[in-house]
Amino acid sequence: MRFGVIIFPGSNCDHDAYWAIAEVAKQPVTFLWHDSPDLQGCDAIIVPGGFAYGDYLRTGAIAKFSPVMESVRNFVAEGGLVLGICNGFQILCEAGLLPGALMRNAGLKYVCKPVHIRVESTNTPFTQQLTRGEVLEIPIGHMEGNYFCDEPTLAELNDQDRIIFRYTTSEGEVTADANPNGSLDNIAGICNEGRNVLGMMPHPERAADVLMGSTDGRVILESMVHSLVAAAA
């Protein structure tokens, strides 16, 4: 199997994601250039964090027009796995592959720190190696991580078990103090209806090795690998 990591002008976590796939998940991985529609036969795509196109218009709003994103839309429609991390989550929302939008943090400040997130669903290829209710410690680093959607969309996300992660205390309690950015309903990650697209603000690639202070993020990558192996069997 083969992973692809998209590079946009302004991406700054592409090499981190590449390293995590190559050195931790031990899978073949290649970079995918934003200006090319060629996904190079990849079986899973990672849309990494950073500041695509400088976020000059709105986070992810320019990146959604990149040639590679049209190919990603087709890839998703065919059942391909796509993980959007931080700015990647923002891009997926702008591209219409996930509902809602990411707004400025409630405190209007850039926030970079480890946070705790609770696994709300294991019914995805990204979380099937985890346990529902399990609490992970994974870093965030963003200015626009405040997830928002309208009430019907929120009800749909809840009814369809599509809220995958929520910000919590280390004990797994959903509280206002545990919410680092004002995100609606403490949402830290969601999936699409097909459950093959996951967007999350925390950076699992920054919690993939003991030297980083946490290995909690590596299970998300390993879940993707297990899912791809099972699908190919």
Active site residues: 86, 203, 205
Rounded Cα distance between 51 and 10, Å, is 5
Three-class SS string for the chain? CCEEEEECCCECCHHHHHHHHHHHCCCCEEEEECCCCCCCCCCEEEECCECHHHHCCCCCCCHHHCHHHHHHHHHHHCCCEEEEECHHHHHHHHCCCCCCEEECCCCCCCEEEEEEEEECCCCCCCCCCCCCCCEEEEEEEECCCEEECCHHHHHHHHHCCCEEEEEECCCCCCCCCCCCCCCHHHEEEEECCCCCEEEECCCHHHCCEHHHCECCCHHHHHHHHHHHHHHHC
The burial class, CB within 10 Å (0-12 / 13-18 / 19+), for 208 is: buried
Residue holding tokens 């749909």? 156
Q: What backbone phi and psi angles, to 5 degrees, belong to 92? A: -65, -35
